[in-house]
Amino acid sequence: MWHAILTLVRKELQAIMGDSQTRAMMIMPVILQLLLFPFAATLEVKNSTLAIYNEDGGAASIELIQRLAAAKAFPRLIMVNSEEQLRQSIDAQQALLAVRIAADFTRRLARGEPAQVQAIIDGRRSNSAQIAFGYAQQVIRQFAEEQRPQVLPARLTVQHLYNPNLEYRWFVLPSLVALITTIGCLMVTALSLAREREEGTFEQLLVSPLTPGYIMAGKAVPGILVAVIQGSIIAAAAVWVYHVPFTGSVWLLYLSMLCYGLSLSGFGLFISALCANQQQAFLGVFGFMAPAIILSGYLAPVENMPVILRAVSAVDPVTHFIVIVKGIFLKGHGFVQVWPHLWPLLAIAAVTLGLAYTLFLFRSGQ
Amino acid sequence: MKRPGRIDPRRLLALCRKEGYQIVRDPSSILIAFVLPVVLLFIFGYGINLDTSSIRLGLLDEDGGAEARSFAAVLAGSPFIDLRVGLSRPALREELENGSIKGMVVLSSDFSAKVRQGKGEAAIQVLTDGSEPNTASFLDSYLQGLWQVWLSQRASDQGLKAPTMTSLEPRFWFNPTTVSRNFLVPGSISVIMTVIGALLTSLVVAREWERGTMEALLSTPVTRAELLLSKILPYYLLGMVAMLLCVLVATLLMGVPLRGSLWLLFIVSSLFLGSSLGLGLLLSTVTRNQFVAAQAALTAAFLPATMLSGFVFEISSMPPPVQAATYLVPARYFVSALQTLFQAGDVWPVLALNTAFLLFSAGFWLGLTALKTGRRLDRDRVA
Amino acid sequence: MNDAAAIIIRAVQYRFDGGTALHALDVDIRRSVITGLVGPDGAGKTTLMRIMAGLLKASAGQILVDGLDPVTEAAELRLRLGYMPQKFGLYEDLTVQENLDLYADLHGVLGPARASSFAHLLAFTDLARFTGRPAGKLSGGMKQKLGLACTLLGSPRVLLLDEPSVGVDPISRRELWKMVGTLADAGMTIVWSTAYLDEAERCSEVLLMNAGRLEYAGTPASLSERMQGRCLQLRNIVGSRREVLQKALRAPEVSDGVLQGESIRLVLRRADEPPQLDGLQAGPEAYLVEVRPRLEDAFVDLLGGGPGGESVLAEHMPETRVDRGVDAAAMISADALTRRFGDFVATDRISFRVRRGEIFGLLGPNGAGKSTTFKMMCGLLAPSSGTAQVMGLDLKTSASHARRQIGYMAQKFALYGNLSVAQNLSFFSGIYGLRGDIQAKQIADMVRVFELQPFLATQAGALPLGFKQRLALSCAIMHQPPLLFLDEPTSGVDPITRREFWTHINGLVEKGVTVMVTTHFMDEAEYCDRIGLIYRGRMIAAGTPDRLKQQATRAGEEEITMAEAFIRLVEQDDGQREELRA
């Protein structure tokens, strides 16, 4: 009966590759997102504008401004001359952050007194503004230290493991392996079955000697294949185009991709067993995907979520796979470290596939 | 037949009523218009919390002396740090590796001694998990702050003058508590409106073609303008109701402030809805196929609205070509307008600019749809 | 210009990228009568309809509908024209009344005229009881009637109906016909396109199209008259009538022939030149009787005669083997088969048996339980009680093994439209467990038998209808099943393609294949050995086609048609029910 599954899988792949619109839908988004995401999806702050209101005008203040201007985060500076202009630059979102240097800055610094520099943060974009604030703070602190070097009782040395320069791209690309494959895999499993139902070919399958189990396997395997192929493209691009280090083992990555594909197929088949037509299946895929991605820990750490959402995140295959891929890429994880996230994927697959199978039998009137 | 034809209010009303019945009777459109927005709003509002509230940090105190203990006490006292005391370097390294802590602090066995020597040789070693750069850089800046706190505490305890620190004093405008929810919720409203506007309408015209009802409609005296308006008005209404729902949930349940005026919010939302309805209808009209139209809508409307609108990711941090692309995304203007209206109030320069762009975009997409809406089947293959 | 012409078509052409659908058409369509539009698939009927409705623009030529140009004077024309497209134009999630309201508003039917139109149309279509029901929940026949009512709302002067009776049972079809007849009598010009030639026969005028050209325009009678003396019936056949038909079709004198119950209808190439009876081996009692020509005879003749009696397929297929222990008298058997959906009993204790090598037809009005029965027999639906068995295997317990014995062909040729012909063949053979050399050989045979070679790389969805049907049939029989299930296999297909299809089926039956078929074509019902008539969930009559006809014939009547028998048997059942209630 392996032959029957092989036949089903081949048909599915022929259907994907044979139709130019479907083929485009499998490949175009991958390439588009591969080009856009690493640049667009970044929480780093670069190229932002800093507004400066210098009330002082002394040598130290000018020196500080030059230091700020040299920072890579702020290639553009706006010099403003009044409180009013400062307010406008933030209001109109011309500047992300405004720095106000008080009139006595140079004087206090010369006397060795702590000098105050005020930063005004645009709370509408509080995250980016806070990060920008961090950069500015670092510049100012370093500046102050150089002005009056002193012996401190202890120094703080920070070393970033796995990603020494905190390159955001090293974080984005491994996550993309998980995110992008989600869409392709779900489309193949959930929508194609709904399509067969609408076009009547589904009944043709049901009257054949294939059992529901085989039909489901015939849909799940192409889904997994699509996930693995798309995942390989992204992983390859990450390593060779974006130069993200790959420290783990390739076979472990593929094993994990397989398990991930299996758990996604489970969700896809479950959705398709639930839905009567393509429109519903499409909305079902969207209804699953949007929360799955938002709660995956890609946009914000899972630890920050309320307990309920953390529980949802624990049964979200995307969450587990992102951890696995990042571990294999950056942390050189082996099977022992990967396993705690691998078994949840298998468990999710077992539950969703089981549910889909039951529902499938029930719906096909058996 | 490029003339749109006159509009007969009775026919238009009849078509709108029909569309209304279809919306009300299709559970999936109700689900996507009323249930999904609320769910997404909550998930965005509570699921994405960029204000790293407390980071798990491991501490290895090999020294055990007074100096080390005082530093550990400072760490433990911080609300931003969730301190775990570790027993050995390998144990902590393992925890760091499997992600259960995000960073580790090591105070080596000679820490207290070196501090007392005062030669500046004592070192607080910090290792962070760089695989999560955002958390790592937050941790970095928290620890810098705590280190200074420790330095000044130590100085005042010993009756010395605190080392002079020149620092940057933050002051927040618009969102003083810096709750990321306050800017994420208005942003997520734009994603939701994109979904309702484009995703739902991408199906409606294609559905009429697939089910054959379009051919019957076209053979009646219905004009092009009526046909188009009958698709826009009901979904506009649906979108505005969903918008109202979002605003109510955001302000009343989630406590997000709304500082701008309601009528401006109304105008901006109307224009944005107009442009996403236009995009959805255009895809539907051109493809005449639900499957393709829906996928195209997902790629053309939903993804840009999340990625390129500046809702989560800062546009100015993107490279110039990507930044240029964001100017084509209507959601960009809507996000900016919404964030301003919710948190800053009626800031005219921002709103005027965004409104102008939205007006243009709505006109563009709706106009293109009107052009592509034909009164004949000519594009069809002969059956 | 002829004053009686409602539609004037002069040198109308329609080209599209890749071909010409209409070649310089010239014809006048008379006012106040029903004009039938017939022709094989791809003849250009729908294109012509759409051009008349102003939905397509003719590439060349001139057309006037009720004196108006459908493109430049579209707005004015739409007030006078009703068009009912082939694919259904109703909103299924709206109720009957809401659909009517919508179209009344669109056509500007207001004020007192509105109420009276509604009352009139609802009475006319007999839908008054169902005004609150969603259109999607109506039966096929009721949907068509509602579609017609919606189209009629603007009181059009010209009515265009594109295959309004496809998939509609004989009873509803007759009602539809009566309704339209009344309208024509009241002065409406009607164009009715159809694949049912018995319908076309009753039109005042008929236009016969083929490959974008007009082959005939005139009364159906004068077309049939050409066939005078060429139509015979061979009666009192002893032995297999299918073998006799095959032999008859091989005779040079015969141009076309079909089964009609126990008899065979033959069309001769020339009048008074019948084939030699001895050569047909129809038995000593057999005799030929001249019968009245039908429009279908003329239609097939005009298009060059029937497809001949040889089924290359049947020659290729081996005699079906039946495992020992399988009862040849009960290859398919239903025993008190019942299916309930909630409170509703869709089929009520239906029992029947089908012998090896028999064609068993399931007939019945739309929504009577015919499809439910059929689905249970091929394992698509589990019965609530009773058993469905094929070759002694229960479809419930040994589903996979039982299904291996079945070939199944669905209503709409459920092929993978975006896969090529070759890919479809290898897929369907593969899921039935064929592999390696055997698979390759079977596929090669099918390609040869059905002449699919030139289309191997073509997407199945883009095939001409006739080839789609061939492909669907070959996909269903590649694994050489002893049983064949056909669900309305020729719905909407023209008579010539239909004949070719049945030639193959007849050939297969000769090899011992057992066939179960559902259909709305009453001619097709006559090809069956036995028929089960299902109505309101019960089997109200069963037997050979001739027996059912006899059963419905009243004293002193000539032989009636199958369609007539169908309608009477259903009415009788209604009558019995009434009596019981009283």
Q: Where does the pLDDT of residue C189 fall: very low under 50, low under 70, confident under 90, or very high at 90 and above?
A: very high
Structural domains of chain A, ranges and CATH numbers in brackets: 49-147 (3.40.1710.10), 164-363 (no CATH)
Residue B1 has pLDDT above 50, yes or no: no
Q: Which residue of B has its CA nearest to A44?
A: B317
Q: How far apart are the C-alpha atoms of C326 and C406, rounded to whole Å?
A: 15
pLDDT at position C520, please?
86
Residue B5 has pLDDT above 70, yes or no: no
Compute the average pLDDT of residues A134-156: 77
Q: How does pLDDT run across C350-368, given as a tens digit for each residue?
A: 999 999 999 999 998 887 8
CB contact under 8 A, C75 and B215: no
Q: Which amino acid is at B243?
A: M
Residue B238 has pLDDT above 80, yes or no: yes
Are residues B249 and B108 part of one domain?
no
Residue A14 has pLDDT above 80, yes or no: yes
% chain B with pLDDT above 90:
17
- Which residues from B are below 8 Å from C91, CB to CB? 18, 21-22, 213
Are residues B362 and B232 part of one domain?
yes
Q: Where does the pLDDT of residue A289 fall: very low under 50, low under 70, confident under 90, or very high at 90 and above?
A: confident
CA geometry: angle at A355 spanning A352 and A358, to 5°? 150
Q: Where does the pLDDT of residue B273 fall: very low under 50, low under 70, confident under 90, or very high at 90 and above?
A: very high
Would the pTM of this model clear 0.90, i.e. be above it? no
Q: Which one of C46, C52, C101, C102 would you mutate to disrupt binding with B, by most B Cβ within 10 Å of its Cβ? A: C102
Q: How does pLDDT run across B21-33, given as a tens digit for each residue?
A: 988 887 777 887 8
Residue B175 has pLDDT above 60, yes or no: no
In a domain, B72, yes or no: yes
Compute the average pLDDT of residues C243-253: 86
In a domain, B95, yes or no: yes
Are residues B104 and B43 part of one domain?
no
Q: How many CB pairs under 8 A join A and C?
A: 84
User: Which A residues, 218 through 277, put their C-beta within 8 Å of a C-beta on chain B?
Assistant: none
CA geometry: angle at A228 spanning A222 and A231, to 5°? 135
pLDDT at position A149, please?
65
Q: Which of A4, A18, A209 sits opposite C403 (nearest CB)?
A: A209
Q: Which one of B291, B303, B326 would you mutate to disrupt binding with A, by most A Cβ within 10 Å of its Cβ? A: B291
Torsion of CA B45, B50, B55, B56, to 10 degrees: 60
Residue B42 has pLDDT above 90, yes or no: no
Q: Which of B67, B119, B130 sits opposite A166 (nearest CB)?
A: B130
Q: Which of B48, B134, B339 sits opposite A124 (nearest CB)?
A: B339
Q: Which helix (H) or strand (E) holds A120?
A: strand A116-122
Q: How far is B20 from chain C (nearest CA, A)?
A: 10
Query: In this predicted structure, which of A261-270, B331-340, C87-96 has the lowest mean pLDDT?
Result: C87-96
Q: Which residue of C has its CA nearest to A215?
A: C431
pLDDT at position A212, please?
85
In a domain, B102, yes or no: yes
A 10 A CB-CB count for B171 gives 12
- Which residues from A are below 8 Å from C417, CB to CB? 199
Residue burial B8-21, b: 16+ Cβ < 10 Å; e: rest: beebbebbbbbbeb
- Which residues from B are below 8 Å from A305, CB to CB? 46-47, 49
Are residues B356 and B257 part of one domain?
yes
In a domain, B313, yes or no: yes
In a domain, B1, yes or no: no
Strand pairing report for C359-363 and C393-394? unpaired
pLDDT at position B177, please?
56
Residue A66, burial from CB neighbour count under 10 angstroms (0-12, 13-18, 19+): exposed
% chain C with pLDDT above 90:
29
ipTM comes to 0.81
Contact between residue B53 and residue B135 where contact means Cβ atoms under 8 Å apart: no
Compute the average pLDDT of residues A117-145: 78
Are residues B330 and B229 part of one domain?
yes
pLDDT at position C466, please?
80
Q: Which of C78, C87, C108 sits opposite B212 (nearest CB)?
A: C87
Residue of higher predicted confidence among B274 and A121: B274
Q: Where does the pLDDT of residue A361 fall: very low under 50, low under 70, confident under 90, or very high at 90 and above?
A: confident
Are residues B76 and B25 part of one domain?
no
pLDDT at position A365, please?
59
Q: How far apart are the C-alpha atoms of B62 and B75, rounded to whole Å?
A: 16
Are residues B223 and B106 part of one domain?
no
In a domain, B382, yes or no: no
Residue of higher predicted confidence among C542 and C239: C542
CB contact under 8 A, C55 and B382: no
Are residues B115 and B24 part of one domain?
no
DSSP letter (8 states) at residue A118: E
Are residues B346 and B207 part of one domain?
yes
Q: Which one of C347, C400, C401, C431 would you mutate to disrupt binding with A, by most A Cβ within 10 Å of its Cβ? A: C431
Nearest 5°: phi and psi at A340? -55, -20
In a domain, B164, yes or no: no
Q: Where does the pLDDT of residue B383 fall: very low under 50, low under 70, confident under 90, or very high at 90 and above?
A: very low
Q: Which of B28, B50, B173 sits opposite A300 (nearest CB)?
A: B50
- Which residues from A are below 8 Å from B125, CB to CB? 157, 159
Strand pairing report for C34-38 and C189-193? parallel
Query: What average pLDDT does chain B have?
Result: 83
Q: How does pLDDT run across A80-124, given as a tens digit for each residue?
A: 888 888 888 887 778 888 888 888 888 887 877 777 788 887 766
DSSP letter (8 states) at residue C239: S
User: Which B residues, 284 through 313, put their C-beta within 8 Å of a C-beta on chain A?
Assistant: 290-292, 294-295, 298-299, 303, 307-308, 310, 312-313
DSSP letter (8 states) at residue C414: -
The CATH number for B117's domain is 3.40.1710.10
CB contact under 8 A, A204 and C410: yes
DSSP letter (8 states) at residue A148: S
pLDDT at position C108, please?
85
Q: What are the angstrom distances between the C-alpha of C536 and each of C337, C369, C377, C540?
A: 14, 7, 18, 9
In the Cβ-directed half-sphere of A176, how many Cα atoms lie within 13 Å? Answer: 31
CB contact under 8 A, B131 and A130: no
- Which residues from B are below 8 Å from A323, CB to CB? 99
Q: How far apart are the C-alpha atoms of A58 and A61, rounded to whole Å?
A: 5
Q: How far is C482 from chain B (nearest CA, A)?
A: 36
Range ranked top by mean pLDDT from A78-92, A99-113, A227-241, A291-305:
A227-241
- Which residues from A are below 8 Å from B308, CB to CB? 36, 40
Are residues B314 and B200 part of one domain?
yes
State how many domains chain B has.
2
CB contact under 8 A, C74 and B26: no
Residue B277 has pLDDT above 60, yes or no: yes
CB contact under 8 A, A4 and C408: no
CB contact under 8 A, C420 and A18: yes
Domain carrying residue B103: 55-157
Chains in contact with B via at least 3 Cβ–Cβ pairs below 8 Å: A, C
pLDDT at position C1, please?
42
CA dihedral for C176, C182, C188, C194, sign (positive or negative): positive
Q: Which of A43, A171, A295 sits opposite B43 (nearest CB)?
A: A295
CB contact under 8 A, A208 and C412: no
| CB proximity A279 to C under 8 Å | no
Are residues B90 and B63 part of one domain?
yes
Compute the average pLDDT of residues A192-205: 84
Q: How does pLDDT run across B341-375, given as a tens digit for each residue?
A: 888 788 888 888 889 999 999 999 888 988 888 76
Chains in contact with C via at least 3 Cβ–Cβ pairs below 8 Å: A, B
Q: Where does the pLDDT of residue B264 fall: very low under 50, low under 70, confident under 90, or very high at 90 and above?
A: very high
Residue B381 has pLDDT above 50, yes or no: no
Query: What average pLDDT does chain A have?
Result: 85
CB contact under 8 A, A207 and C378: yes
Residues 6+ apart with CB under 8 A from C137: none
CA geometry: angle at A146 spanning B111 and A73, to 5°? 100
Q: How far is A11 from chain C (nearest CA, A)?
A: 6
Q: Where does the pLDDT of residue A126 fall: very low under 50, low under 70, confident under 90, or very high at 90 and above?
A: low
Are residues B113 and B61 part of one domain?
yes
Residue A183 has pLDDT above 50, yes or no: yes
End position of a domain, from candidates B157, B191, B217 = B157
C426 token code pair: 């290898």
Instruction: Give the orientation angle of helix A212-236 with respect to helix A168-186, to 10 degrees.
Output: 150
Q: Which one of A52, A56, A147, A160 would you mutate to disrupt binding with B, by most B Cβ within 10 Å of its Cβ? A: A160
C411 token code pair: 């209503």
Q: Where does the pLDDT of residue B164 fall: very low under 50, low under 70, confident under 90, or very high at 90 and above?
A: low
pLDDT at position C89, please?
73
Q: How far is C379 from chain A (nearest CA, A)?
A: 6
In the Cβ-directed half-sphere of C354, how many Cα atoms lie within 13 Å? Answer: 31
CB contact under 8 A, C93 and B383: no
Q: How far apart are the C-alpha atoms of C271 and C340, rounded to whole Å?
A: 55
Q: Which residue of C has its CA nearest to B376?
A: C55
Q: How far is B123 from chain A (nearest CA, A)?
A: 5
